Chain A
Amino acid sequence: MTRGVPGGRPPGLALTPEEIVAELRDGMTIGIGGWGSRRKPMALVRAILRSGLKNLTIVSYAGPDVGLLVASGQAKRVVTGFASLDSIALEPHFRRARQDGTVELTELDEGMLHWGLLAAAHRLPFLPIRAGLGSGVLEVNPELRTIRSPYGGGEGRNGEASDGEELVAMPALRLDAALVHMNRADAAGNGQYLGPDPYFDDLFCLAAERAYVSCERIGAALEGPPQTMLLNRAMVHAVAETPNGAHFTSCVPDYGRDEAFQARYAKAAADPEEWRRFEAEYLAGDEAAYQEAVKA
């Protein structure tokens, strides 16, 4: 896998969400940034909903991004440790699919997912971690292995000396594509978050073959504290300007979560007929139509 100038694209080329989705393929493993119902690249997810993409594996700290892709049947497998809307504890589409047996799950501890992205970003086959040892995670993911530290000096559970501590070998979570949402970006692909938490968006980008960044606004240059400049253009394949593009999740400080709309989403998700009505009202048109409909 060669790294370097992503896609050899000339700097300054922004894409539409549709153009981004046109670069994705059936069966891809797609990482989605943000966390729960915070700074999710929902405009890009909605663009996937409008496409014919299928058989996707979604790696995410899951929220309504996963909910929508599970509801549409486009997500065959989800890699996560939870699916939550934050102010509503359980993501309803994910819950239903788990109970109906209609989605495959790779259930990982939150720290294991972090470590898997870090390993992929660092081009390592795995990283050792304690999280997962002794838990059901190793049982429901039989492909996971443990390793023993090669440096010895370990101590068994009863205090006896042993070869080396046993740890989980968390495999790299390599992504075909990453979708993240930033507050700001420039046309070259440098990305900036202005809220309280970067989440793991930089790792999602580095773990992916191609990283796509949506943002509230593409400006001439990033302004503000340097610590907010999370993504550099060597990490990013293309940028899309999607104002209100995290709706209904939060995108602080540009806007908070649309709690009223999220409640409507969750209520509709509980009933198949109501969900069809929700889809018809909000998801049948393009992004402009969606933004118009949610203003109401």
Chain B
Amino acid sequence: MVACAEAWRGDGAILASPMGLIPTLGARLARLTFEPGLLLTDGEAYLVDAQDRIEGWLPYAKVFTMLAAGKRHVMMGAAQIDRHGNQNISCIGDWKRPKAQLLGVRGAPGNTVNHPVSYWVPRHSPRVFVSRVDMVCGVGYDRGAQDLRVVVTNLAVLDFGGPEHTMRLRSVHPGVQAGDVIEATGFPLAVPEQVPVTRAPTAAELGLIRTRLDPAGAREAELR
């Protein structure tokens, strides 16, 4: 969650659009700590501030405007992702008659060509990190991505600092070896000589997570 929060570090006053529980907790944590200027919605049409007060109105039509204006950093999931950052959330198998129909392209094509995009993958495996995605929804750097930031998984944080903007191991989570990540990745991964360890939450951050952001511990279920 702290790794997700870090994705928005330095963004300033832009719309953070986290998708799913862990990214949402990460964005809220970032706003409560090092990135207080972030805009967040209530999931519907209200912009709410860090004290949960309504600070503005942002219906879906206006989200599309913010998106095209570039004033947004979204964190999406990925059923599949390749080394260039091409992401698939639409379907698995042949598009004409898929083995598994998933979310559809949703807004991934527009997000990736308009503003910063990060990804959260709860289970890092070769089924997700593939050599070739079945349907390109979010585009990768080889297809015109604007600004892919980080891919946060249950094992590591990755970015696109490899040769020609390919995926690189940025840090391993405490207790994880670089070898574990390489094994869980279905394509060649750029791995630096020294791989840092993802930083742990500070005591203050832990306090915020446990008392304010997720007292019920919903995050545990998603990380299992």
Q: Which residues of A contact B (CB under 8 A)?
A: 35, 80-84, 89-90, 94-95, 98-101, 107-112, 114, 129-137, 139-140, 157, 196-200
Contacts and interface: CB of A to CB of B under 8 A. Distances in A.
Nearest to A134: B143
Contacts of B97: 98-101
B139 A134 contact: yes
B136 interface: yes
A169 to B, nearest CB: 15
Interface residues of B, number: 39
Contacts of A111: 64, 67-68, 107, 110
Contacts of A136: 90, 95, 105, 135-137
B146 to A, nearest CB: 9
Contact of A109 (B45, B61, B105): B105
B103 A135 contact: no
Contacts of A108: 105
Contacts of B91: 98
B106 interface: yes
B187 interface: no
Which 7 A-B pairs have CB atoms at the shortest separation, nearest pair first?
A131-B110, A134-B143, A82-B104, A196-B45, A101-B97, A98-B101, A135-B109
B101 A132 contact: no
B52 to A, nearest CB: 16
Interface of B: 44-46, 57, 59-61, 64, 67-68, 90-91, 95-110, 112-114, 135-139, 143-145
Contacts of A107: 90, 95, 104-105
Contacts of A99: 97-101
A83 B64 CA distance: 18
A134 B90 contact: no
A101 B90 CA distance: 15
B100 to A, nearest CB: 7
A31 B95 CA distance: 24
Contacts of B99: 99
Contact of B143 (A35, A80, A110, A135): A135
Contacts of B106: 81-82, 109-110
Nearest to B102: A90
B104 A197 contact: no
Nearest to A62: B104
Contact of B107 (A35, A89, A110, A140): A110
A136 B95 CA distance: 10
Nearest to A98: B101
Contacts of B45: 196-197
A101 B94 CA distance: 11
Contacts of B143: 133-135
Nearest to A166: B144
Contacts of A80: 104
A92 B90 CA distance: 14
